[in-house]
């Protein structure tokens, strides 16, 4: 690992020499957190997004993780999803399934994807209802601070514009405080219809991992982490602040290349 350390603002950075190194560290992190959480609660509830981070999670279906992780305790959710069929090329579910989920011995029914036969508004409502039932039965924890579900881990990527999940800059959805899952019909990136966890749900998670790679995102990583520029406060990635949890950034050297003061971390 090139660099690792905590900052004064509560976030931890892990900066890696290569994608291979990052992928291995991410798998180790998820594996360790899974083991600890299942011992404590009997379940590990993880929500993932789409994009390049899915391929970086691919090591989970390889040795040693495939045989050492207690997959029976896992419940997998999607922090956001496109309102398309599950076999559509744009589906986050399809991407994750093709990459690694289909190779892992999950318990049937523990993969909680959206109902793709519904309208996007209906899909968001039903997905929230599913989550509420699992909170009621204590499969998913509940935040004592926000009354939101307290996922054990939410893993997110970040777009070039600083969006996370399907929370885009300057979109009214960023102000949503009453719903756990909501929907949009005007995404600035295709496809336009999506469902997404809201900021209160993401920020109620026990752990949030932001996985960002590539030099094309270096400027936005610098903007968000180094807190520079007047527009910084409106960037969704900057709004990720777990209330009673941990925020961990997994970066490669290219994405971290414009960060200030990285030599100060230990």
Query: Could you read off the pLDDT tens digit of each residue along the chain, which spans 266 residues?
Result: 456 666 656 689 999 999 999 999 999 999 999 999 999 999 999 999 999 999 999 999 999 999 999 999 999 999 999 999 999 999 999 999 999 999 999 998 999 999 999 999 999 999 999 999 999 999 999 999 999 999 999 999 999 999 999 999 999 999 999 999 999 999 999 999 999 999 999 999 999 999 999 999 999 999 999 977 666 678 999 999 999 999 999 999 999 999 986 543 43
DSSP state of 107: P
Strand order from edge to edge, sheet including 80-82:
80-82, 194-197, 181-184
Cβ burial 56-94 (10 Å sphere, 16+ → b, else e): bbebbbeeebeeebebebbbbbbbbbbbbeeeeeebbbb
Cα separation, 246 vs 8, whole angstroms: 13
Quick one: 114 exposed, middle or buried, by C-beta within 10 A (0-12, 13-18, 19+)? buried
Report CA dihedral (33, 254, 196, 179) to the nearest 10 degrees. 70
Find, among 260, 250, 257, the residue nearest to 52 by Cα.
Answer: 250
**E strand or H helix at 197:** strand 194-197
The beta-strand segments (E) located in 38-190 are 44-48, 74-78, 80-82, 111-112, 141-142, 149-150, 153-156, 181-184
What are the φ/ψ torsions at residue 108 (nearest 5 degrees)? -55, 135
Parallel, antiparallel, or unpaired: how do β-strands 11-16 and 3-6 relate?
A: antiparallel
Cα separation, 118 vs 186, whole angstroms: 17
pTM, two decimals, is: 0.95
Find, among 90, 83, 84, 18, the residue nearest to 54 by Cα.
Answer: 90
């Amino acid at each position: 690992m090139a660099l690792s350390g905590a900052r004064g603002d509560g976030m931890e950075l892990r900066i890696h020499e290569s994608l291979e190194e990052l992928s291995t560290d991410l798998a180790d992190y998820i594996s360790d957190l899974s083991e600890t959480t299942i011992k404590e609660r009997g379940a590990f509830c993880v929500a993932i997004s789409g994009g390049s981070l899915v391929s970086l999670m691919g090591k989970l279906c390889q040795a040693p993780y495939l045989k050492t992780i207690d997959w029976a305790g896992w419940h997998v959710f999607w922090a956001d999803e496109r309102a398309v069929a599950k076999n559509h090329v744009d589906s986050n579910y399809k991407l994750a399934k093709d990459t690694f989920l289909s190779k892992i011995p999950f318990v049937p029914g523990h993969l909680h994807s959206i109902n793709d036969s519904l309208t996007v508004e209906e899909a968001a409502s039903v997905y929230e209802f599913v989550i509420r039932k699992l909170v009621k039965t204590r499969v998913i924890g509940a935040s004592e601070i926000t009354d939101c579900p307290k996922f054990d881990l939410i893993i997110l990527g970040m777009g070039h514009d600083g969006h996370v999940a399907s929370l885009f800059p300057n979109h009214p959805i960023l102000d949503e405080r009453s719903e756990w899952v909501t929907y949009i019909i005007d995404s600035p990136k295709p496809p336009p219809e999506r469902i997404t966890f809201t900021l209160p749900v993401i920020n109620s998670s026990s752990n949030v991992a932001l996985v960002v790679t590539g030099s094309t995102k270096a400027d936005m990583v610098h903007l968000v982490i180094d807190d520079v520029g007047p527009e910084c406060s409106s960037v969704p990635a900057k709004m990720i602040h777990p209330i009673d949890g941990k925020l961990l950034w997994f970066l490669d050297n290219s994405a971290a290349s414009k960060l200030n003061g990285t030599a100060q971390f230990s």
